């Protein structure tokens, strides 16, 4: 049994055990950071470890199982133009789940905050103060930065203010004007050229409409604007930085007053009013002449709105008869001849063949018949003929991706790129597997037939010809191995393959190798188990009042079977009482034990060796072993807690390195630990295939099956190898079977 020097272990017992961790606990493995959910325990020094644990137990700390509460580290990417501050300050090790963290951006003099740069924050947040809550979806390391903008980059020029104010004047004229302009009003504010070649406002339908480039945002009222009212508004907006204000447009309003008499004519004034604090300016953008009848006579003294026009739908500008004399109404399609798809494909291959160039010369450097090596001289010559090397009139397509600049014009335009693209279309051609002839020899059976047992209780009985005891009658001291070839002709049924005595009756004497089947849904399963009753002459208890245990001076009879642990289900105990404490260990071996499947058939069927049922023509070689030298007692007492579901451990192939730590375990041919009983199976097809023979479909037909020879015997020896089970001299013995087996 593995031991350790207790003087090297610091007392650190478990103080809390069997604690359930859920996702909300935010536990991770310290070693790799992966999340943990399940049972864990806590040691006296606060160390948390995966596993149920037991209060009071002091075991070695396994670095692979140490758990910690996940922390979140925030890395601030500071800028030379400002500072980012965390509140509260980051604790040692980082923040915890659900912590609230406040971020404040403090710009340096001459700078303003732009926006946050962090994957955990929404995009384009311009507020210099934000907060967030640590969530489980965050990465362990969080990077947060922010941008700071020079104030000079945000300054608006006076020219920009002038254009914006002018634009808004036009917007007010068209959006706030309470009536739709008539055709006459539109003509009165448009620009034309008179007979003397001068620009004048107001035109007739026959006059040419003139639009000057400078008309864009140029307010030229001869009265209000020359007095500087518009310029005063521009300066007030510019000096008070009102253009970037949300209330900029609310500083302006549109008013119509009149009609009033001015210079002996009645006019209606169109006024835009600007108000900012005590600064009030009125701009008369147009005057409309009103006749005594109230009719509009057009506009005078207006802003430059000469680009305003209105389409007419009820006039004709073209005389069809005159047009026919001039225009050619016969229409000819002047498109070139169109290429068909086949023409395009033909052209592609012509172009490709002229651009691909000559292939480089490859050599067979390893003499495997494949030309795969290119000399450096040949490589350079080929590269220099390609367009990526020099763009000349006779250059060819670049051959390899490594010969182009990844950011250059020929990236993705190489023969290698083309080859990789074509591979996606030729999987059925590139992956054709060459069929190699099977020249393995076919196995020739050595014997002429096999023994068939069909009816229940038919059997072969073994006797010693001299009348003496059989060689395996002292099996509880020497152990034994049973081997046989079996073919099952049905998927259901239960029967004995070999027995000596009856290990499960009141006497509990002998051993039995048997098969049991189980149906789950429409699927059939078959398992094989070995049950052994063993006798120990050692005195272990003197309490004769307890009938479950052997009284002093009487032999102890124990039950062993070949079941093993599987993932998720530990191996059960059939032969002893107690789990290793001093009191229970004294009680020793249990006389009231039973095979585990007899006690719990619904839960332990798959804890036994399985035999496939889908091929009833297959033969199986069964090897059942009982080895009294295996320390099953210590295996259950010391190692079952951490290796209960490890099948290889119970089949004697795992050498434990420490009782509670499995990381130092090693796989060995024979460990001396595990179960005393073991059943192993190999099919005839698997055995022949492993020995290099050809197997036809892996099966044999029932009409021509011949019993194969027994497996080779071990080398002769007076005593069996140490720690290994002895071999009995009955390897083709017939058992008691029912009608489901052929032997």
Q: What is the pLDDT of residue 349?
A: 92
Comparing 47 with 256, the larger pLDDT belongs to: 47
Least confident span in 418-427, 478-487, 503-512, 670-679: 503-512
Interacting residues of 219 by C-beta distance below 8 A, sequence separation 6+: 166, 169, 225, 230, 285, 303, 304
CA trace torsion 134, 135, 140, 141 (10° rounding): -50
Comparing 166 with 415, the larger pLDDT belongs to: 415
Q: Is the pLDDT of residue 711 over 50?
A: no
Burial of 499 (0-12, 13-18, 19+ CB in 10 A): middle
Q: What is the pLDDT of residue 734?
A: 33
CA trace torsion 6, 12, 15, 20 (10° rounding): -90
Q: Which of the residue ranges 113-117, 630-634, 653-657 has the most confident prediction, judged by mean pLDDT?
A: 653-657
Q: What is the pLDDT of residue 609?
A: 94
Binned at pLDDT 50, 70 and 90, residue 546 comes out as: very low
Across the range 302-324, mean pLDDT stands at: 59
Q: Are 499 and 508 in contact (CB under 8 A)?
A: no
Across the range 714-733, mean pLDDT stands at: 32
Interacting residues of 356 by C-beta distance below 8 A, sequence separation 6+: 396, 397, 415
Q: What is the pLDDT of residues 366-405, one digit of tens each?
A: 888 888 889 999 999 999 999 988 888 889 999 999 999 8
164 SS3 class: helix
Q: Are 699 and 442 in contact (CB under 8 A)?
A: no
Binned at pLDDT 50, 70 and 90, residue 263 comes out as: confident
Comparing 613 with 165, the larger pLDDT belongs to: 613
Q: What is the pLDDT of residue 170?
A: 75
- Mutual angle of helices 158-175 and 229-239, in 10-degree steps: 120
Q: Is the pLDDT of residue 653 over 90?
A: yes
Q: What is the pLDDT of residue 646?
A: 93
Percent of the chain residues past pLDDT 90, beyond the cut? 20
Q: Are 243 and 160 in contact (CB under 8 A)?
A: yes
Q: Which of the residue ranges 180-194, 464-478, 657-671 has the most confident prediction, judged by mean pLDDT?
A: 657-671
Least confident span in 35-49, 132-146, 276-290, 543-557: 543-557
Q: Is the pLDDT of residue 406 over 80?
A: yes
Binned at pLDDT 50, 70 and 90, residue 216 comes out as: very low
Q: What is the pLDDT of residues 229-246, one digit of tens each?
A: 888 888 888 877 777 777
Q: What is the pLDDT of residue 459?
A: 67
Comparing 317 with 58, the larger pLDDT belongs to: 58
Q: What is the pLDDT of residues 488-500, one digit of tens each?
A: 888 888 888 888 8
Q: What is the pLDDT of residue 407?
A: 86
Q: What is the pLDDT of residues 574-616, one digit of tens each?
A: 776 544 444 334 344 555 678 989 888 888 999 999 999 888 8
Quote the CA–CA distance of 633 and 449 in Å, as a whole number: 44
Q: Is the peptide bond before 88 cis (omega within 30 degrees of 0)?
A: yes
Q: What is the pLDDT of residue 49?
A: 93
Q: What is the pLDDT of residue 589?
A: 52
Burial of 503 (0-12, 13-18, 19+ CB in 10 A): buried
Percent of the chain residues past pLDDT 70, beyond the cut? 75
Which residue bears the tokens 């948390």?
Answer: 48
Quote the CA–CA distance of 388 and 385 in Å, as a whole number: 9
Q: What is the pLDDT of residue 612?
A: 92
Q: Is the pLDDT of residue 6 over 50?
A: no
Across the range 533-541, mean pLDDT stands at: 58
Q: Is the pLDDT of residue 310 over 70?
A: no
Of 648, 528, 633, nearest to 576 by C-alpha is 633
pTM passes above 0.95 = no
Q: Which of the residue ranges 85-99, 298-312, 661-675 has the most confident prediction, judged by mean pLDDT?
A: 661-675
Q: What is the pLDDT of residue 450?
A: 72
Across the range 559-572, mean pLDDT stands at: 90
Q: Tell whether the torsion through CA atoms of 208, 214, 218 and 223 is positive or negative.
A: negative
Q: What is the pLDDT of residue 314?
A: 55
Q: Is the pLDDT of residue 561 over 90?
A: yes
Provide the mean pLDDT of the chain.
76
Comparing 129 with 564, the larger pLDDT belongs to: 564
Least confident span in 28-42, 80-94, 98-112, 706-720: 706-720
Q: Which of the residue ranges 97-106, 467-476, 559-568 has the most confident prediction, judged by mean pLDDT?
A: 559-568
Q: What is the pLDDT of residue 655?
A: 94
Q: What is the pLDDT of residues 431-477, one digit of tens each?
A: 767 777 888 888 888 777 777 776 545 667 777 777 776 777 788 88
Q: Are 512 and 496 in contact (CB under 8 A)?
A: yes
Burial of 392 (0-12, 13-18, 19+ CB in 10 A): exposed
Across the range 247-276, mean pLDDT stands at: 83
Q: Is the pLDDT of residue 40 over 90?
A: yes
Binned at pLDDT 50, 70 and 90, residue 125 comes out as: low
Across the range 275-290, mean pLDDT stands at: 82
Could you give all domains of the chain from N- to C-terminal order, each with its CATH number? 6-69 (no CATH), 73-154 (2.10.70), 158-300 (no CATH), 341-430 (no CATH), 477-742 (no CATH)
Q: What is the pLDDT of residue 683?
A: 92
């Amino acid at each position: 049994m593995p031991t350790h020097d207790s003087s090297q272990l610091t007392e650190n017992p478990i103080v809390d055990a069997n604690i359930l961790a859920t996702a909300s606990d935010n536990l991770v493995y310290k070693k790799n950071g992966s999340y943990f959910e399940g049972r864990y325990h806590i040691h006296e020094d606060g160390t948390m470890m995966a596993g149920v644990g037991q209060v009071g137990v002091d075991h070695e700390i396994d670095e692979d199982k140490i758990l910690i509460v996940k922390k979140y580290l925030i890395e601030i990417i500071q800028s030379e133009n400002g500072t980012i501050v965390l509140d509260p300050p980051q604790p040692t090790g980082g923040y915890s789940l659900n912590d609230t963290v406040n971020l404040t951006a403090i710009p340096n003099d001459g700078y303003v905050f732009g926006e946050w740069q962090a994957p955990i924050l929404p995009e384009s947040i311009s507020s210099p103060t934000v907060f967030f809550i640590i969530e489980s979806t965050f990465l362990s390391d969080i990077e947060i930065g922010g941008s700071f903008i020079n104030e000079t980059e945000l300054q608006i020029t006076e020219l920009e203010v002038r254009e914006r104010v002018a634009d808004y004047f036009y917007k007010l004229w068209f959006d706030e004007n309470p009536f739709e302009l008539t055709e006459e009003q539109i003509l009165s504010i448009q620009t034309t050229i008179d007979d003397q070649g001068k620009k004048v406002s107001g035109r007739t339908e026959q006059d040419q409409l003139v639009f000057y480039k400078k008309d864009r945002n140029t307010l030229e009222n001869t009265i209000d604007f020359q007095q500087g009212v518009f310029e005063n508004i521009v300066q007030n907006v510019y000096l008070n930085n009102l253009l970037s204000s949300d209330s900029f447009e609310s500083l302006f309003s549109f008013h119509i007053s009149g009609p009033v008499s001015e210079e002996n004519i009645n006019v209606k004034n169109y006024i835009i009013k600007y108000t900012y604090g005590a600064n009030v300016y009125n701009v008369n953008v147009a005057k409309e002449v009103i006749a005594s009848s109230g009719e509009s006579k057009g506009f005078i003294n207006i802003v430059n709105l000469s680009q305003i026009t209105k389409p007419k739908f009820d006039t004709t500008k073209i005389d069809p008869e005159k047009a026919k004399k001039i225009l050619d109404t016969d229409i000819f399609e002047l498109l070139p001849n169109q290429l068909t798809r086949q023409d395009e494909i033909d052209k592609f291959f012509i172009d490709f063949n002229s651009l691909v160039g000559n292939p480089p010369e490859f050599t067979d450097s390893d003499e495997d018949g494949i030309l795969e090596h290119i000399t450096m001289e040949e490589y350079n010559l080929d590269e220099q003929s390609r367009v990526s090397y020099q763009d000349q009139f006779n250059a060819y397509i670049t051959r390899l991706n490594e010969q182009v600049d990844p950011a250059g014009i020929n990236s993705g335009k190489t023969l290698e790129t083309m080859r990789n693209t074509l591979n996606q279309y030729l999987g059925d051609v590139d992956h054709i597997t060459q069929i190699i002839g099977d020249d393995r020899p076919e196995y020739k059976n050595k014997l002429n037939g096999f023994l068939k047992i069909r009816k229940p209780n038919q059997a072969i009985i073994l006797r010693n010809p001299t009348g003496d005891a059989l060689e395996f009658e002292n099996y509880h001291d020497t152990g034994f191995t049973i081997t046989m070839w079996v073919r099952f002709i049905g998927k259901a049924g239960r029967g004995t393959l070999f027995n000596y005595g009856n290990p499960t009756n009141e006497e509990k004497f002998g051993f039995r190798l048997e098969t049991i089947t189980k149906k789950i849904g429409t699927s059939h399963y078959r398992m094989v188990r070995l049950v052994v009753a063993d006798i120990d002459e050692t005195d272990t208890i003197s309490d004769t009042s307890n009938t479950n245990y052997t009284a002093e001076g009487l032999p102890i009879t124990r039950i062993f079977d070949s079941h093993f642990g599987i993932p998720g289900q530990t191996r059960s105990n059939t032969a002893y009482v107690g789990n290793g404490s001093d009191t229970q260990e004294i009680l020793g071996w249990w006389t009231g034990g039973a095979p585990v499947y007899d006690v719990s058939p619904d839960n332990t069927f798959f804890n036994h060796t399985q035999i496939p049922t889908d091929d009833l023509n297959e033969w199986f070689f069964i090897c059942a072993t009982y080895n009294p030298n295996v320390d099953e007692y210590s295996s259950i007492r010391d190692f079952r807690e951490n290796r209960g579901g490890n099948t290889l451990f119970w089949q004697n192939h795992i050498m434990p390195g420490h009782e509670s730590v499995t990381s130092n375990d090693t796989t060995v041919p024979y460990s001396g630990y595990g179960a005393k009983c073991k059943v192993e199976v190999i099919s005839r097809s698997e055995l022949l295939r492993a020995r290099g023979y050809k197997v036809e479909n892996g099966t044999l037909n029932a009409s021509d099956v011949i019993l194969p020879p027994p497996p080779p015997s071990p080398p002769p020896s007076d005593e069996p190898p140490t720690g290994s089970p002895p071999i009995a001299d009955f390897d083709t013995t017939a058992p008691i079977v029912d009608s489901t087996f052929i032997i």
